[in-house]
């Protein structure tokens, strides 16, 4: 809707790749048997602290093929999963708090943009961490009291990913690739560059050895 002969065209930065994700091996296997991750959601080790330009779509194709071939082999060996119990929502009620979900969604988006954007500082990341902790607590309360909605599940997932991004950023005391910290503007070249690994349930940050040992060590 902008007429460039009469007015300037707004230019804003936009996120177009998530550096990081679920750790996989070269078949897209995660450490949970039967769970594969490929594409935007995966950390395959192809990219470093920055994305290899234009390789994300190619990565999707390559890993889709590798995962499909592996699934074809593995599926014959895997036992049938047991039947999931019926979802029991007899103890929760309908929520009239949809506005809270919408508000929290906006809030998350806003503080991630402001505090966990291109230029970061430890102070801003800590501010974001405090806010994400409040959201996580509210979401947990919401989960145990009300019927679950798609928006709620997406908010929970977004908040969890935001928390992991903040924790990873706080653990890295240097600037490297697309990660820029005003407090640590230079790369720490005293040691080899290492990815950050967050392991559930507490997601305590640790660094891992470089591929290919990384994948063998982590996935066995
Ligand atoms: C602006 C921009 C420019 C880019 N430019 C390039 C480029 O030039 N070259 C390049 O290689 N890469 C580029 N990329 C990156 C590349 O597009 C992505 O890495 C790639 O599309 C990821 O594919 P994907 O299938 O993993 O995820 P997606 O393409 O995000 O697909 C995920 C799908 O899952 C669906 N979905 C989400 N939640 C649910 C749910 N609960 N149930 C069912 N479905 C769901 C979504 O609707 C979506 O269709 C760009 C990305 C952006 C945003």
Condensed to tens digits (0 to 9), the pLDDT of residues 100-124 reads 888 999 999 999 999 999 899 999 9
Distance 97 CA to ligand 1 centre (A): 30
Which residues neighbour 22 within 8 Å (Cβ) at sequence distance 6 or greater?
A: 30, 37, 41, 42, 43
Least confident residue range of 17-26, 91-100, 129-138, 183-192: 91-100
Is the CB–ligand 1 distance for residue 22 below 6 Å?
no
Residues 55 and 198: their CA atoms lie apart, in Å, by: 24
Is the CB–ligand 1 distance for residue 18 below 6 Å?
no
Cβ atoms of residues 162 and 154 within 8 Å? no
Task: Report which secondary-structure segment, H or E, holds 119.
Answer: strand 119-120
Percent pLDDT > 70 in the chain is 93
Query: Residue 39 in 3-state DSSP?
Result: helix
Is the CB–ligand 1 distance for residue 30 below 6 Å?
no
Task: Find tokens 């969604």 and name the residue.
Answer: 105
**In ligand 1, which atom is closest to the CA atom of 57?**
11
Is the CB–ligand 1 distance for residue 16 below 6 Å?
yes
pLDDT band at 208 (very low <50, low <70, confident <90, very high): low
Is the CB–ligand 1 distance for residue 21 below 6 Å?
no
pLDDT band at 199 (very low <50, low <70, confident <90, very high): confident
- pLDDT (0 to 100) of residue 213: 47
Q: Which of 128, 139, 73, 50 is nearest to 100 (CA)?
A: 139
pLDDT at 131 over 70: yes
Alpha-helix residue ranges (DSSP H) falling in 55-203: 56-74, 98-115, 122-145, 150-171
* Residue whose CB lies within 8 A of the most ligand 1 atoms, among 15, 16, 28, 53, for a mutation test: 16
Is the CB–ligand 1 distance for residue 40 below 6 Å?
yes
Distance 18 CA to ligand 1 centre (A): 10
Q: Whose CA is nearest to atom 21 of ligand 1?
A: 57
Is the CB–ligand 1 distance for residue 60 below 6 Å?
yes
pLDDT band at 220 (very low <50, low <70, confident <90, very high): very low
pLDDT, one tens digit per residue, over 62-75 is: 999 999 999 999 99
Cβ atoms of residues 148 and 97 within 8 Å? no
Domains of the chain: 22-79+212-219 (no CATH), 98-189 (1.20.58.100)
pLDDT at 94 over 90: no
Residues 48 and 28: their CA atoms lie apart, in Å, by: 17
pLDDT at 57 over 50: yes
Task: Report which secondary-structure segment, H or E, holds 213.
Answer: helix 213-219
Dihedral over Cα of 180, 184, 185, 191: its sign:
negative
Is the CB–ligand 1 distance for residue 6 below 6 Å?
no
**CA 103-116-35 angle, 5° bins:** 80
Q: Which of 62, 70, 33 is nearest to 46 (CA)?
A: 62
């Amino acid at each position: 809707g902008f007429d460039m002969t009469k007015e300037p065209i707004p230019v804003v930065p936009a996120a177009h790749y998530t550096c990081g994700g679920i750790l996989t091996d070269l078949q897209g296997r995660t450490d949970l048997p039967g769970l594969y991750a490929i594409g935007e959601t995966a950390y395959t080790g192809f990219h470093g602290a920055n994305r290899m330009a234009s390789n994300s779509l190619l990565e999707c194709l390559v890993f889709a093929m590798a995962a499909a071939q592996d699934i074809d082999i593995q599926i014959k060996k895997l036992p049938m999963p047991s039947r999931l119990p019926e979802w029991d929502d007899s103890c929760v009620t309908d929520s009239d708090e949809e506005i809270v979900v919408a508000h929290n969604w906006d809030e998350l988006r806003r503080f991630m943009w402001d505090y966990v954007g291109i230029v970061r500082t430890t102070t801003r990341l800590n501010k974001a961490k405090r806010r994400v902790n409040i959201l996580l607590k509210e979401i947990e309360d919401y989960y145990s009291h009300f019927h679950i909605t798609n928006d709620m599940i997406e908010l929970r997932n977004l908040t969890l990913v935001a928390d992991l991004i903040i924790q990873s950023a706080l653990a890295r005391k240097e600037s490297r690739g697309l990660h820029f910290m005003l407090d640590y503007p230079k790369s720490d070249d005293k040691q080899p560059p290492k990815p950050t690994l967050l392991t559930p349930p507490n997601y305590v940050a640790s660094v891992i050895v470089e591929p290919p040992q990384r994948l063998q060590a982590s996935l066995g």
